[in-house]
Homo-oligomer: A and B are copies of this chain.
Amino acid sequence: MSSTKPRYVYAFGDGQADGDASMTELLGGKGASLAEMTRLGLPVPPGFTITTEACRAYWAAGNRLSDELRAEVRAALGVLEGRMGARLGDRAAPLLVSVRSGAAASMPGMMDTVLNLGLNDQTVEGLADRTGNARFAWDSYRRLLQMYANVVMGMRGETLEQFLERKKEGEGVRADSELSVSALVSLVDIFKKKIFEKLTDTFPQNPEDQLWAAIEAVFASWNNRRALDYRNLNHIAHDGGTAVNIQAMVFGNMGASSATGVAFTRDPKSGEPHFFGEWLPNAQGEDVVAGIRTPWPLNKESGALEDEETLEDAMPAVYQDLLKVRQALETHYRDMQDIEFTIQEGRLWMLQTRSGKRSPAAEVRLAIDFVGEGLISEEEAILRVRPETLVELMHPRIDPDAARVVIARGLGASPGAATGRIVFDSDAATEAAGRGESVILVRRETSPEDIQGMSKARGILTSRGGMTSHAAVVARGMSKPCIVGCRDLHVDPEACTMAVHGRVLRAGDVVTIDGGSGAVMLGEVATLQPKPSAEVERLMSWVDRHRRLEVWTNADTPRDCRIAREFGAQGVGLCRTEHMFFDEDRILAMREMILAADEDGRRDALARILPMQRSDFTEIFRAMDGLPVTIRLLDPPLHEFLAATPDEVQSVAEELGVAPDQLAARYRALHEVNPMLGHRGCRLGISYPEIYEMQVRAILEAACAAAREGVVVRPDIMIPLVLDVRELELLRNVIETTATLVLASEDVAISYGIGTMMELPRACLTADAIARAADFMSFGTNDLTQTTLGLSRDDCGRFLPLYTEMGILPADPFVTLDPAVGELVRIGAERGRAVKPDMKIGICGEHGGEARSVRFCHRIGLDYVSCSPFRLPIARLAAAQAALEEGA
């Protein structure tokens, strides 16, 4: 029976510990690290840890400390008293302990701590006698009263703090440590009186009462507002509870040979292999945390100035001890550590070690260096770098130290920072950029007509739309900072103003946007440019040896293709042809095609577009020499190519030489209530096969032209928005007929594939049938997300933020593949493979560049993911990690 009873208390001390580093869930991070350091023989003040399980049992029992827990704590306390040769409440040899929270997940500063517990009116005298340092003893007692009143009794911190301040003023001193013994004695008296006045309760003189109350206070602190918010923000579950670490006190404030400090075993910003930290002589750790005194650098490498004393210089022997600890911890943990230590009268004590937070650059460098040092394997190095880290490394970002005025926040849709004058339409952007100005394009939302302006702008800001709105997708494709769905912004493109909370900005005003955080800032804010890093290159070379998933790119232009190759693209998974139609000299022909009265008229207009598309494709084939290029045939509804506002209609009508009425009527006729679900994708190809014929002709003529130059061309023709295999069969017939004609007249042998973009739930569910007519399948997860969730990416900005905030959806489904969309992709791939086991299957939505989604694609056995050029490194890393995790 008793063997199944949980054990609530784990002791450590004298080189022995009941726990170890593997027990983070049970003992919390701090408790596990204290146990592990003790086992390593490092100098750790002895103590014991009350488990997180005890915390949960405490809640389950209606916030009551069980008799079992009390008994285990008393027993552990007895062991600790034996180890320290001191006893809680003993006047002659009083044991003082710290009581600290410590959850499984790091929640720095979020929960509460009580130090110097065990002091009372008697033991303070005993401490003074034993240490021969009355000032230290009374200062410790004063601190206990303050902390206890605040943490355990619930009194606001300022209430007692103000008397400390008054006392310092009265004595004419600046530092706490300068107060006289009598001042401290008097302060203790004042504190006790004030506590009783405010709370009609007294500070408990019995140290065991102090201990039980402090333990309960730490348990309770798990649910304070700060901690709740932190967990919400960091996606930490609320049901874990905290451990409580009770540890013999060591004192960094016992005089000049005492000190406290924190350090990283390597430089956390650069990752350089030097010891890096801060220290404060004659101080307790809390002084550093509270920011009361400014600490000094540990050593020269930590950036010490001439007038600052380093620990290395001040206490060389202790510093050497610390270097040994540093070495031992890195060797043991095989990672850069963030440590806390105290020096009590020349002796080093370790209070904490944990994996150190690091900058993106350091993250990569450390992984590389540890491999070089033989601490970790190449595989481990790959698994240690978070894919998001690479995102941050790729984009310029706001200097964290720069001053700024944030006027609004939207969704950070494409990372990086950009500063420029605001403009409100594509033409203005192009014009200003032509004058050499940096501009930020501000729109309610963007459409393909804005592409030109977007390509000229430094950054894009929209008041509507979500993470995969047009603006977001295109901006990420261009690797350009972008904020979307900035709801507080009222954009008036006619007046060329944007209003936000009563402030009105006009065209030409300067703003800075941070596409990572979504912040819109006034004026210019300093940014940091990313450096190209040899470490990233190195890491990427390892990554490619371990991944199975191929990584292709979504690229619409020869330039994008060249960038993508540099970033490791193994093919083009999605080349959207419609952007090509928006160039000024082409849109006219496109509009004539749409306005044509019949097929002949359409063919005339298409014939003028043909040579332009052909030359685009030729360039793309050259850029992707030897690699597959998947070209999607025309997808968007035709009305996107017409004009929207009456003014635009007028000017387009003039350009085309048709009556504005006629143009307006055609526009109205093409108007759709839900264009996303309308006449687009291959439905256009079914209605107007001549459009697809022209595109296929352009693709294959380009392929022949490139092939004649010696380029190895591998064109794949992709049919969008397939609903049923019959569409594919019909269009395959159109394509093959055209292809036969072209290849015969060009007299070049080109092999090409015909495949489909899987964007509708029905396509996924009927993938077995579709596979029969497809050479390849590519899941268009953007549209598949829209249909599976019934969520318009252009409209969801109004409620999707609320949905992720309230936890209705775990993540933005346009960023991370939603589980239901994932299931449809899995079903589609399985059914497709059941018919054609060797068919190439990939995804080409935005998710192809997002780590969690890439891992999912690996797990369900896809062949490739395709993403924006700048996200290729992320996809490569995530793919390798998925492969390694699978092997593990």
Q: Is the CB of B673 within 8 A of A795?
A: yes
Contact of A673 among B679, B792, B823 (CB under 8 A): B792
Q: Is A686 an interface residue (CB 8 A)?
A: yes
Q: Is A798 an interface residue (CB 8 A)?
A: yes
* Complex contacts, A721 vs chain B, CB 8 Å: 790
A764 nearest CB across to chain B (Å): 9
Q: Is the CB of A788 within 8 A of B789?
A: no
Q: Is the CB of A790 within 8 A of B762?
A: yes
Which residues from 422 to 446 on chain A have a C-beta closer than 8 Å to any C-beta of chain B?
445
Which residues from 785 to 810 on chain A have a C-beta closer than 8 Å to any C-beta of chain B?
786-792, 794-796, 798-799, 802-803, 806-809
Q: Is the CB of A795 within 8 A of B762?
A: no
Binary contact track A802-845/B, C-beta < 8 Å → 1, others 0: 11001111000000001111011000000000000000000000
Q: Is the CB of B823 within 8 A of A686?
A: no
Q: Is the CB of A795 within 8 A of B723?
A: no
Cα(A310)–Cα(B594), bound, Å: 66
Q: Give the number of copies in the complex.
A: 2
* Complex contacts, A131 vs chain B, CB 8 Å: none
Which of A367-375, A450-458, A724-732, A867-875 is found at the contact surface with chain B? A724-732
Residue of A687, A783, A820, A823 with most partner-chain B CB within 10 A: A820
Binary contact track A675-702/B, C-beta < 8 Å → 1, others 0: 1111100010011000000000000000
Q: Is A355 an interface residue (CB 8 A)?
A: no
Cα(A806)–Cα(B724), bound, Å: 12
A800 nearest CB across to chain B (Å): 9
- Knowing A730-B808, A787-B788, A802-B686 touch, does A824 contact B761 (C-beta < 8 A)? yes
Contact of A802 among B677, B687, B795, B824 (CB under 8 A): B687
* Complex contacts, A674 vs chain B, CB 8 Å: 674-677, 792, 794-795
- Knowing A675-B674, A765-B824, A823-B765 touch, does A726 contact B794 (C-beta < 8 A)? no
* Complex contacts, A795 vs chain B, CB 8 Å: 672-675, 677-679
Cα(A683)–Cα(B759), bound, Å: 24
* Complex contacts, A359 vs chain B, CB 8 Å: none
* Complex contacts, A673 vs chain B, CB 8 Å: 445, 675-676, 792, 794-795
Q: Is A517 an interface residue (CB 8 A)?
A: no
* Complex contacts, A672 vs chain B, CB 8 Å: 792, 794-795
Cα(A676)–Cα(B675), bound, Å: 10
Cα(A678)–Cα(B800), bound, Å: 10
Cα(A819)–Cα(B765), bound, Å: 9
A76 nearest CB across to chain B (Å): 42
A762 nearest CB neighbor, chain B only:
B820
- Knowing A730-B806, A759-B790, A789-B723 touch, does A820 contact B766 (C-beta < 8 A)? yes
Q: Is A605 an interface residue (CB 8 A)?
A: no
Q: Is A760 an interface residue (CB 8 A)?
A: yes
Residue of A761, A794, A795 with most partner-chain B CB within 10 A: A761
Cα(A789)–Cα(B762), bound, Å: 6
Contact of A678 among B686, B723, B796 (CB under 8 A): B796
A788 nearest CB neighbor, chain B only:
B761
Residue of A760, A790, A791, A819 with most partner-chain B CB within 10 A: A790
Which residues from 389 to 445 on chain A have a C-beta closer than 8 Å to any C-beta of chain B?
445
A733 nearest CB across to chain B (Å): 12
A809 nearest CB neighbor, chain B only:
B724
* Complex contacts, A786 vs chain B, CB 8 Å: 677
* Interface size grouping (class) on chain A: 35 or more
A833 nearest CB across to chain B (Å): 18
Cα(A683)–Cα(B674), bound, Å: 18
* Complex contacts, A809 vs chain B, CB 8 Å: 723-724, 726
A260 nearest CB across to chain B (Å): 46
* Complex contacts, A765 vs chain B, CB 8 Å: 788, 820, 823-824
Binary contact track A717-755/B, C-beta < 8 Å → 1, others 0: 000010110110010000000000000000000000000
* Complex contacts, A788 vs chain B, CB 8 Å: 760-762, 765, 787
Q: Is the CB of B677 within 8 A of A724?
A: no
Cα(A864)–Cα(B766), bound, Å: 27
Q: Is the CB of A723 within 8 A of B790?
A: yes
Q: Is the CB of A678 within 8 A of B792?
A: yes
- Knowing A765-B823, A808-B730, A809-B724 touch, does A790 contact B677 (C-beta < 8 A)? yes
A808 nearest CB neighbor, chain B only:
B726
Residue of A674, A675, A760, A802 with most partner-chain B CB within 10 A: A674
Q: Is the CB of A683 within 8 A of B727?
A: no
Q: Is the CB of B686 within 8 A of A806?
A: yes
* Complex contacts, A761 vs chain B, CB 8 Å: 761, 787-790, 820, 824
Cα(A131)–Cα(B673), bound, Å: 76
Q: Is the CB of B792 within 8 A of A790?
A: no
Cα(A783)–Cα(B790), bound, Å: 9
Cα(A330)–Cα(B676), bound, Å: 57
* Complex contacts, A687 vs chain B, CB 8 Å: 798-799, 802
A175 nearest CB across to chain B (Å): 51
* Complex contacts, A807 vs chain B, CB 8 Å: 726
* Complex contacts, A818 vs chain B, CB 8 Å: 762
Cα(A287)–Cα(B783), bound, Å: 62
Cα(A204)–Cα(B539), bound, Å: 88
A676 nearest CB neighbor, chain B only:
B674
Cα(A786)–Cα(B445), bound, Å: 25
Cα(A789)–Cα(B786), bound, Å: 12
Q: Is the CB of A686 within 8 A of B799?
A: yes
* Complex contacts, A686 vs chain B, CB 8 Å: 799, 802-803, 806, 808
Q: Is the CB of B727 within 8 A of A792?
A: no
Binary contact track A183-202/B, C-beta < 8 Å → 1, others 0: 00000000000000000000
Binary contact track A567-601/B, C-beta < 8 Å → 1, others 0: 00000000000000000000000000000000000
A683 nearest CB neighbor, chain B only:
B799
A31 nearest CB across to chain B (Å): 34
Cα(A824)–Cα(B721), bound, Å: 19
A725 nearest CB neighbor, chain B only:
B808
* Complex contacts, A794 vs chain B, CB 8 Å: 672-674
Cα(A760)–Cα(B789), bound, Å: 6
For the complex of A and B, list the 7 residue pairs with the smallest distance between their C-beta atoms, beginning with the closest: A677-B792, A674-B792, A762-B820, A673-B794, A678-B795, A726-B808, A760-B790
- 20 contacting pairs across A/B (C-beta < 8 A): A445-B673, A672-B792, A674-B674, A676-B790, A677-B677, A677-B790, A677-B792, A677-B795, A678-B795, A678-B798, A686-B808, A687-B798, A687-B799, A687-B802, A724-B809, A726-B806, A761-B787, A761-B790, A761-B824, A762-B821
A sample of 18 more A-B contacts (CB under 8 A), given A724-B808, A760-B790, A765-B820, is A672-B794, A673-B675, A673-B795, A674-B795, A675-B792, A676-B790, A679-B795, A679-B798, A687-B799, A723-B791, A723-B809, A726-B807, A726-B808, A726-B809, A762-B788, A765-B823, A787-B788, A787-B790
